[in-house]
Amino acid sequence: MVRYDAKADEERLNLIFSALSDPTRRAILARLEREPRLSISQLAEPFAIQLPAVLKHLGVLSEVGLIRRAKSGRTVWVEIEAGSMKAAMDWLERHRIFWSSSLDRLVKYAEARERQTEGKGK
């Protein structure tokens, strides 16, 4: 029997969103989207931070499972881990649906109030 562990899912989401809260880590992921496989030195090039700081960011992304590192000779290559954002995307989609319908109801209410106000002013 497979058990659903809501607490583990929540903890995973917290880690993912925490990792994504940093602009440098988001920039690293964006670069890996454009260039799917880069060495650590290639990834570090455009940033105005030292290599140890880049390595810390990569460590956070790796711990959460958003990236994968593989060593070939003396070079460490970095790639986005396929499917790693599914839990976060599913969560965002559920909330997008909720907020979209809530905002639609708010718009209808505001339009109805506006019509009532216009009708009284004539």
Residues 22 and 70 in one domain: yes
Residues 48 and 104 in one domain: no
Residues 66 and 115 in one domain: no
Q: Give yes or no for a contact between 29 and 66, defined as CB atoms under 8 angstroms apart.
A: yes
Residues 35 and 10 in one domain: yes
Does residue 81 have a pLDDT over 70? yes
Domain containing residue 38? 1-82
Residues 20 and 78 in one domain: yes
> What are the tens digits of pLDDT across the range 100-116?
777 778 888 888 888 88
Within its chain, how far is the Cα of 119 from the centroid?
Answer: 46
Conformation bin of residue 34: beta by default, left when phi > 0, alpha when psi is -120 to 50:
alpha
∠ CA 58-18-53 to the nearest 5 degrees? Answer: 30
Does residue 53 have a pLDDT over 80? yes
Q: Which amino acid is at 93?
A: E
Q: At what angle do helices 51-64 and 6-20 cross, to 10 degrees?
A: 160
Residues 109 and 72 in one domain: no
Higher pLDDT, 7 or 122: 7
Q: Which amino acid is at 46?
A: P
pLDDT score of 4 = 58
